[in-house]
Every structure is written in C-alpha cells, then in structure tokens.
Amino acid sequence: MIFNPRRSYLLLALILFAACGKKGGGSDDAVKAFDREAILEGNIGFACMDDDVESRVASLLSQMTLEEKVLQMHGDRMEDVTYALGVERLGIPGMVLTDGPRGAKPSPATTFPVGICRGATWNTALEKKVGEVMGAETRAKGADVLLAPTLEPVRHPRWGRTQETFGEDPFLVARMGVAFISGVQNHVMASAKHYAANNIEDTRFTVSANMDERTLREIYLPPFKSAVMEAGSATVMSAYNRVNGDYCGENEHLLRDILKGEWGFKGFVESDWLVGTRSTVKAANNGLDAEMPGANYFGDALVAAVNDGEVSMEVIDEAVGRILRQKFCFGLDRNPVADPSIVESADHVAVALQSAREGIVLLKNQGGLLPLNKETTGSIVLAGSLADFTNLGDYGSSSLAPTVTTTIKDGLVAAHPGTLFLDTDTLSGEEETAMGDADAVVIVVGNFWRDEGENMPIVDPETGLYTEDSGDRKSLNLKPEHEALIKKAASLNDRVIVVLIGSGAFFMDGWLEDVEGLLMAWYPGMRGGQAVAEVLFGEVNPSGKLPMTFPKSDAQLPVFDNTSTEVEFDMWHGYRLADREGYQPNFPFGFGLSYTTFEYSNLRLSTDAIKAGETVEVRVDLTNTGDRAGDEVVQLYVSYEGSAVERAVKELKGFGRLSLNPGETKTLLMEVKAEDLAYYNMEAGAWTVEPLTATLKVGPSSANLPLGAELEVR
Ligand code: GLC
C-alpha cells in the first residue's frame, strides 16, 4: 500500500475526533434540545447591525426636515391593517403593520392554534416554522410588521389573553418566543408584545402592575430580554398598562434603562394602539419611538414640543434612526412583492395541523380506553354544543379565520362515519339511551369568545351588533350545563372522554374522577378537529405537555384583582407557587401523557462545577419502553441550596423533544449557563451568579423528576 501522508492524517484526525466524541465532550450523537443556530438561521433581525445601513440612516437624518422626521414617529391610519407613511422625496418607504399571534390578518389566512396550544408543544423547531409561515403570509399580504408574539408569562389563568401567549413560565415563553420571532423575521419584522406585565385584561388601560425589581426581572421581563438579545426582534410594543405607576408607553425605566440601555435594543418601540400613547414630551423623552395607529401626541404636538425645546432633536433623531434602520434592514425600500397565492397553501396548513397535533395534551387515560380502535369501536356518541362550533379563539385583535375550519365534529365523523352527533348540552330521553348504549362517548365542553378574550368592542357575528363581552374569565369553572352534561354522560356510560376547549386551566372537582379520558385541546386552529380525532383514534400519539398549571381551586392561585387600578405582583404563581405552598394541582406544569412509555437514564454533566461565563452540558438518555412510536418532552429544572435569597423550589432551565420508535434510545443535550442560575440582586442592581450547590433534575414533568445531579456554582 503506498503511504499517502494526506490520507493518513485525515484518518488519524477522524479517529481522534471519534474518540473524543465518545468521552461525552465535544459533539457526540446527542440531539440538541435547543438548536440555536438552526433556530436563528435566516433571521434578518441580525442583519441590521451593519455599517452601510448606519451611514444611510445618518445621511437621511441630515436631509430630513423636522416635519418629515416626526411623520416617521406615528401611524397614518388604521383600516384592516395599519399604515405608516414614508418620505417619497428621500426614498423612505412607508410601512404596513398587521396582527397577530394566530396568523397574518386580514382573513382568510392560515389560522394556527393559539399561542398557549403551541406552548404545549414545547417544540421550538416547529414554532420557528410557525413563525416562518406567518411571516411569509404577512409579506404575501403586503405587510411589513407582524404584531406578534404575545410574551407575557401567564400569571393567572383568568387573564383574558392567556390564549395568546406560550404559558406561565418565563423560560418556556422566552424559548418559544425566540423561535417564533426568528421564523417571522425570515420575512418581516416581529413585534415582541406587550412590554410589560400586561396580565389583566379588564383594567388594561389604567391598571398599574406594581412589583419589586427582582419580580420584574426574573418573572415578567425574561421573554422580552430574549426576544431582543437572542432573536433581534425588530420592534417591541409597549403595553397599555402602567408598571409601578408609569404607563409602559412612557416608562423610562422599562424603555430607556432596560430595553435600550442594558439590552442594547436596536429596533423601535411602537405603542399599543389608540391609548397606548399617553403624552408627547414624556413619551418621546422616555423612549417611545412611534405612536400607533395615529398622531394624537406624536404629530403636530411633537413638532411643537421640539420647537419649544421640550424635546431635543437628538431624541427625535434617535427614534427616527431606529425606525429607518429596521425599514432598510427588512428591505421595505426594495418594495417587496406581495404574493397572495401562498396564503393558506397546503404546506402552510400542514404546519398549523402539526402544531395542533403536538399541542393537544392527554391528561387522563384510565384503563387504556384511548386510543379508540377504529375497527373494533362500534357506536360513538359525540355531544356538546361546542363540538361543531368554529372555535378558533377570541374576537380580539388576534382573531383570524381561515377559508375552511375543521371542527371536532368534522374530524370525528370523517374518522368514524358512524359517530352520532348530539349538537346540544342537554340530552333528551332517547339521546340518553343512545349515549348509554354507545361503545364510547366524546364530550366537548369549555369556552368560546364570549367567555374570554381581548377586552374591546366586538361585533357579535350572529347579531352584527357591538358587544362588550369577553375580557378576563369570570372563573375557572366550566359552565353549569357543561358540568351537567359530563355528569350525565358519566352516569350513563363508563367509557367517557372529555375534550376541553379554551385558553387553559379549568376546575374539575365533581367530574374528573367520573370520566375515563381527558384531553386539553385549547383552541387548536383551523385543522384542530382533525388533530383531535387523530389523537382519539391513535393516528397521532399525543405529546403535548401543560405550559401552565391546572390548579384544583382558587385556593391554589394568586389573587386575581381585575377591578382595582393598583395591583401587586410577586414572584409566585403556577408551579413556583404550588411548590412554595405545597399545593397538589389537578395537573402540574409540564404534565402530559402518551400512548407509549418512556424511561429516563444516565444523566451526566460535562463538569461538576461552573462559574460565571461557563456552561454545563447536560445529557440524558431516553428510551421508548412501549410498543408504539412517540415524542417526549424532557424537562430540566434546577433547585438551589445555599442561596443568599429565597429562591423558587425549582425553576425550568431546559427542555427538549425526542422522537423515539419502540425500543429506541436517544441522548438529549441541554446546555445550562451559570448566568441562567443567577438571581436579580436588588441591592447591587444587577444579576448575581452566587456560589451555591445547584441540583439539576430531569424528567417528564415538574412533578416527576426521577434523575438528579449536583453542580457546584462558583
Ligand atoms: C390591540 C392589542 C394589540 C394589537 C393592537 C393592534 O389593542 O392590544 O395586541 O396588536 O391593538 O390591533
């Protein structure tokens, strides 16, 4: 054999590489829980940091009149979308902004499951695809900014816009938000909203959410910090409410100190619509860049304020510069072509269906009733007035309708043509008999737009009249007629499956024990009915995990005051509260069943000690020990021992999905930075990585963490 030095070195290198890979350092065959580079791929948000845009912006600012500059700092008019103007003579393009978190308005468009359902997928790779579809359809409709995602962690399930966000935990919401924004910003600007702590709907225009700095930093801001610093969100929408007394649209601490100062935000802040801007001088000086949708404060009044010396030209130039930078980075001056033909394409609809499939959470499956066997299951009775209702979510700003919606009735009848559908919540005698004789009973109950949603004048589609309904939920109870229907079904048949529709937690005492199957389907979007049927019949193995705690009663919840104009927020809600108070909720954060079983093993860390600036690689093996393929969301929580301050009993600091065939084992790789374990030190006014012993716990839910490992933080 002729000695070929090049080939030998290559061979040697491969051997060395393979060897070091086995020691668990370097890149073994582990699946990355959060594939940062894949998620960020194509995100224009980071293309903005380049010099020729800066020089172009500077040159334009030197040519623009004050009136032309101020024209950039407000919307022009709101129709089905909102229009903002450009400056023709200088080649500055206008800008079109449209909602929202469920898809690109106006209807029709691909209508996704609501954010909370997508939060239940814990699938950042899929959520990036969702963002890409929504971004592409936004562009296809000739718009430049998608007013999404909603990133407030859910403090209390009665909040009327719970459906729009990704869940109760800041880490989960942050990761899903980064994925979504990166997808959207492959096409158009995203808008991280509503900054910040917009967690009560009925008093949203006036309430002040009062909290200490640690609560603000550790609970309510992390999704926005990630949106800006990890996903380069082009815009941030300031919220209607006040935080510690100051309206968010003129809150210097939020806008200048934190967002533009500490986080180095390069995009622009637009106010929420109509009453999101509350002043001219204070708002401009405190960091608001654009009033939407019109010019109550940022029109002539702002020109006058500059001429009177109350607002400096530097403030104006900084705001206008931010707006121009994003316009050019996202190519608005290149007149991107709108191509409506891609809206609701089969590929796009397929992503909406996949989100529904993965967001449905199987909460109870007694005696292996589910999945129903299509062949051997004879008569199925489907009951409930919501089963055939087009129930895509609220009629607030995020409302959107596709050309065709698959209801649960559509999905079940298509999957099992013999299904008897009772479009009612109260049964007649013969309906009771049919239900009693059925092989299986499916009951659909829950909420619709009148029960919860954005609090705004809404045109009732049935009557065509304006109604003030919706807003915060009155309670977490099911409607009495829905509870009665469940109890009736349970008294007639011992194979009853309840499908819950809504934004989140319901109280279940009084019927949970009496039913055999329970699914949480949220508002599952335009193909939600198909996804529900696929889960019921086992074509899809459910993999959703709760992105919010389902408590037993109000006693397990923080106070929800949606009438006062001053409310106190603290760090304790959801699983953090449950752990602190020792509550056992009906279903814990991160919980979800599968039709197969999984085994966790071999938790190992790349090091047993880290200090600030360092990262630990956490690997865990997962085996599918059942007889069917399935996905599992692995969760990593951290507990702290020896902290200088009170910490949560545990906090989510990592998660990832694995798809496994029966008998298959894969390794998941999660990374935890020392900074992820820091607390916000109010005395120092800074994040503090403190010396302590962290215990990293891994498992299928916040209440089931079979594996643990200690990590010294120095
Ligand atoms: C609404 C909402 C906001 C929406 C905006 C434009 O009031 O609070 O989420 O993007 O106005 O519709």
Tens-digit pLDDT profile for residues 68-105: 999 999 999 999 999 999 999 999 999 999 999 999 99
| Residue nearest ligand 1's atom 11 by CA | 273
Measuring CA to CA, which residue among 711, 640, 615, 696 is closest to residue 25?
615
pLDDT at 22 over 80: no
DSSP-derived secondary structure letter, 402: -
Distance 164 CA to ligand 1 centre (A): 12
Q: How far apart are CA 136 and CA 157, in angstroms?
A: 32
Measuring CA to CA, which residue among 63, 70, 73 is closest to residue 307?
70
Distance 404 CA to ligand 1 centre (A): 25
Mutate to test the pocket of ligand 1, among 397, 455, 470 (most ligand atoms within 8 A of CB): 397
Antiparallel, parallel or unpaired: β 615-624 and 665-673 = antiparallel
Please, which residues have CB within 8 angstroms of residue 335's CB and are 6 or more apart in sequence?
93
What token pair was written down for 631? 């996905």
Please answer whether residues 702 and 588 qualify as being in contact, where contact means their C-beta atoms are separated by less than 8 angstroms. Answer: yes
Q: Which residue has the tokens 């999404």?
A: 148
Average pLDDT over the chain reads 95
Q: How far apart are CA 458 and CA 473, in angstroms?
A: 16
Cα-flanking dihedrals φ and ψ of residue 394, to 5°? -75, 175
Q: How far apart are CA 112 and CA 344, in angstroms?
A: 11
CB atoms closer than 10 angstroms to residue 417: 7
Long-range contacts of 87-96 (CB under 8 A, 24+ apart): 90/60, 90/63, 90/64, 91/333, 92/60, 92/324, 92/327, 92/333, 93/327, 93/332, 93/333, 93/335, 94/332, 95/144, 95/145, 95/323, 95/327, 95/332, 96/142, 96/143, 96/144, 96/145
Q: What is the mean pLDDT of residues 183-197?
A: 98
Cβ(273) to ligand 1 under 6 A? yes
Tens-digit pLDDT profile for residues 364-409: 999 999 999 999 999 999 999 999 999 999 999 999 999 999 999 9
Please answer whether residues 122 and 655 qualify as being in contact, where contact means their C-beta atoms are separated by less than 8 angstroms. Answer: yes
Q: What is the mean pLDDT of residues 513-528?
A: 98
pLDDT at 463 over 90: no
Sheet with 82-84, side-by-side order of all strands: 77-78, 82-84, 95-98, 145-146, 189-195, 235-238, 268-271
What token pair was written down for 669? 């790789």
Q: What is the mean pLDDT of residues 193-220?
A: 98
pLDDT of residue 2: 39
Q: Tell which atom from ligand 1 comes closest to the C-alpha of 240.
A: 8
Tens-digit pLDDT profile for residues 209-240: 999 999 999 999 999 999 999 999 999 999 99
Cβ(147) to ligand 1 under 6 A? yes
Distance 137 CA to ligand 1 centre (A): 19
Catalytic (active site) residue 676: no
Q: What is the mean pLDDT of residues 674-700?
A: 98
pLDDT of residue 16: 47
pLDDT at 202 over 60: yes
pLDDT of residue 458: 81
What token pair was written down for 293? 């949708």
Sheet with 517-522, side-by-side order of all strands: 361-365, 517-522, 496-501, 440-446, 380-383, 420-422
Mutate to test the pocket of ligand 1, among 189, 272, 395, 454 (most ligand atoms within 8 A of CB): 272
Q: How far apart are CA 135 and CA 113, in angstroms?
A: 16
pLDDT of residue 314: 98
More confident residue, 364 or 20: 364
CB atoms closer than 10 angstroms to residue 590: 29
pLDDT at 35 over 60: yes
Beta bridge partners of 444: 499
Cα-flanking dihedrals φ and ψ of residue 88, to 5°? -50, -50
Mutate to test the pocket of ligand 1, among 99, 146, 162, 399 (most ligand atoms within 8 A of CB): 99
Of residues 99, 272, 472, 631, which has the active-site annotation?
A: 272
Rounded percentage of the chain residues whose pLDDT exceeds 90: 91
Antiparallel, parallel or unpaired: β 686-688 and 82-84 = unpaired
Distance 515 CA to ligand 1 centre (A): 39
pLDDT at 25 over 60: no
Please answer whether residues 160 and 455 qualify as being in contact, where contact means their C-beta atoms are separated by less than 8 angstroms. Answer: yes
pLDDT band, residue 47 (cuts 50/70/90): low
Tens-digit pLDDT profile for residues 489-503: 999 999 999 999 999
Cβ(631) to ligand 1 under 6 A? no
Measuring CA to CA, which residue among 699, 611, 696, 682 is closest to residue 645?
682
Q: Tell which atom from ligand 1 comes closest to the C-alpha of 193.
A: 9
| Residue nearest ligand 1's atom 6 by CA | 273
Tens-digit pLDDT profile for residues 264-277: 999 999 999 999 99
Please, which residues have CB within 8 angstroms of residue 125's CB and are 6 or more apart in sequence?
35, 38, 39, 179, 657
Q: How far apart are CA 565 and CA 246, in angstroms?
A: 12
pLDDT band, residue 20 (cuts 50/70/90): very low
What token pair was written down for 151? 């990133």
DSSP-derived secondary structure letter, 609: E
pLDDT of residue 49: 62
| Residue nearest ligand 1's atom 7 by CA | 273
Distance 101 CA to ligand 1 centre (A): 10
What token pair was written down for 655? 């998660």
pLDDT of residue 52: 85
Cα-flanking dihedrals φ and ψ of residue 301, to 5°? -60, -35
Least confident of 5-19, 452-466, 493-507, 589-603: 5-19
pLDDT at 468 over 80: no
pLDDT of residue 335: 85
pLDDT of residue 657: 98
Residue 364 vs residues 226, 241, 383, 440, 516: alpha-carbon distances, Å: 34, 39, 19, 15, 7
Q: How far apart are CA 338 and CA 327, in angstroms?
A: 16
Cβ(394) to ligand 1 under 6 A? no
